[in-house]
Chain A
Amino acid sequence: MDVRFINPFIAAVKNVFNTMVATQITVGKPYVINASQEPVADVSAVIGLSGDVVGCVVLSLPMQSAMNAASKFAGMDLTPDNPDFADALGELANMIAGQAKSNFTGFNVSISLPSVIIGREHVVSQSRAKPRLALPCESPLGTFHVEVVMVVNKPSAQQAPAAATV
């Protein structure tokens, strides 16, 4: 994966949580996920990417972080048995993916509707053919991570977004 595609995701995570959840996020150093080190989560909100960039974005949280984030975003206490819980986390993932891809200048990218997986310590299995990066996030709501799995599907692509910091 071209690391220059990661900066838009870092900016998007910070902006979405700051604007919609009134929460400051600290994003740690991104790391490559390998098969022997699959991250586990209790809640994962998945958005597919298609077009000139193919892959997905996964917002993965421990249960307490997920309840904190969903509740603060929605302005009411939300637990996993409430349908609005998955709705809120899916929408956060949607905004992160949507804002990030809008900074892929010169690339035509579509995002899917969100799917939300709820289950204790699950793994979101991904194709090993695509590079996978995790963005570790810390906040007053708890820790979580955003996983970015993507390949550029535009043979003539020379232009990439924002300069690399990773």
Chain B
Amino acid sequence: MKILLVDDSRTIRNIQKNVLGQLGHKEIAEAADGVEALKAIAESKPDLVLIDWNMPNMDGITLVRKIRETDKALPLIMCTTEAEKSRVIEAIKAGVNNYVVKPFTAETLAEKINTTLAKLTAAAAAH
């Protein structure tokens, strides 16, 4: 499974990579903003994308909307400091499948990733 991490903080991407590595995921690509992410998605066709909200050049919510213009199925998890209910609702309306608030524990991130993938697998099997 290919996973794309989109966050302007390399420290956060490294932490996410460590968690994903512990979960057995090895094919991990990185992007530092929405513009880089769109390019990476077009080139590498990831199976899951983790997206920060506040980033330079193109923020995460804009990235989610752009992805959903052409791809309704790609699993997207927002991983951000934006914790207000209004922001969560905005992200869900834009098309994210799950939401992780920073600061997060490794267990929380792993649980959200596993839950998201399990739901999508179950939905695919039902069709």
Give the B-binding residues of A (Cβ under 8 A).
Answer: 15-16, 19-20, 73-75, 83-84, 87-88, 90-91, 94-95, 97-99, 101-102, 108, 111, 113
- Which chain B residues numbered 70 to 88 have a C-beta less than 8 Å away from chain A? 80-84, 86
Q: Mark B1-21, 1 if CB is under 8 A from A, else 0.
A: 000000011111011001000
Interface residue from B18, B54, B81, B105 paired with A99 (Cβ < 8 Å): B81
Total interface residues on B, CB under 8 Å, equals: 22
Q: How many A-B residue pairs have CB under 8 A?
A: 59
Q: Knowing A19-B104, A99-B103 are in contact, say whether A113-B56 is a contact too (CB < 8 A).
A: yes
Which residues of B lie under 8 Å from residue A73 when comparing CB positions? 11
Per the bound structure, the CA–CA distance linking A15 and B103 in Å amounts to 8
Interface residue from B10, B18, B56, B103 paired with A95 (Cβ < 8 Å): B103
- Can you list 10 A-B pairs with a CB-CB distance of less than 8 A? A73-B11, A74-B14, A75-B14, A91-B9, A95-B81, A98-B81, A99-B102, A99-B103, A111-B81, A113-B55
Q: Are A98 and B18 in contact (CB under 8 A)?
A: no
**Minimum distance in angstroms from B103 CB to a CB of chain A:** 4
Per the bound structure, the CA–CA distance linking A111 and B53 in Å amounts to 11
Q: Are B83 and A75 in contact (CB under 8 A)?
A: no
Q: Are B81 and A97 in contact (CB under 8 A)?
A: yes
Q: Which 3 A-B pairs have the closest CB atoms?
A: A98-B81, A102-B83, A19-B103
Give the A-binding residues of B (Cβ under 8 A).
Answer: 8-12, 14-15, 18, 54-56, 80-84, 86, 101-105
Which residues of A lie under 8 Å from residue B10 when comparing CB positions? 83-84, 87
Q: Knowing A19-B104, A20-B103 are in contact, say whether A99-B11 is a contact too (CB < 8 A).
A: no
Q: Are A98 and B14 in contact (CB under 8 A)?
A: no
Q: Are A74 and B11 in contact (CB under 8 A)?
A: yes
Q: Knowing A113-B54, A113-B56 are in contact, say whether A98-B11 is a contact too (CB < 8 A).
A: no
Q: Are A87 and B83 in contact (CB under 8 A)?
A: no
Per the bound structure, the CA–CA distance linking A93 and B110 in Å amounts to 24
Which residues of B lie under 8 Å from residue A97 when comparing CB positions? 81
Which residues of A lie under 8 Å from residue B9 when comparing CB positions? 87-88, 90-91, 94
Q: Are A98 and B12 in contact (CB under 8 A)?
A: no
Q: Knowing A20-B103, A102-B84 are in contact, say whether A113-B8 is a contact too (CB < 8 A).
A: yes
Q: Are A95 and B102 in contact (CB under 8 A)?
A: yes
Per the bound structure, the CA–CA distance linking A136 and B105 in Å amounts to 25
Q: Are A16 and B103 in contact (CB under 8 A)?
A: yes
Which residues of B lie under 8 Å from residue A87 when comparing CB positions? 9-11
Per the bound structure, the CA–CA distance linking A16 and B10 in Å amounts to 17
Of B9, B54, B83, B103, chain A has the most CB atoms within 10 Å of the CB of: B103
Per the bound structure, the CA–CA distance linking A83 and B101 in Å amounts to 25
Which residues of B lie under 8 Å from residue A99 when comparing CB positions? 81, 83, 101-103
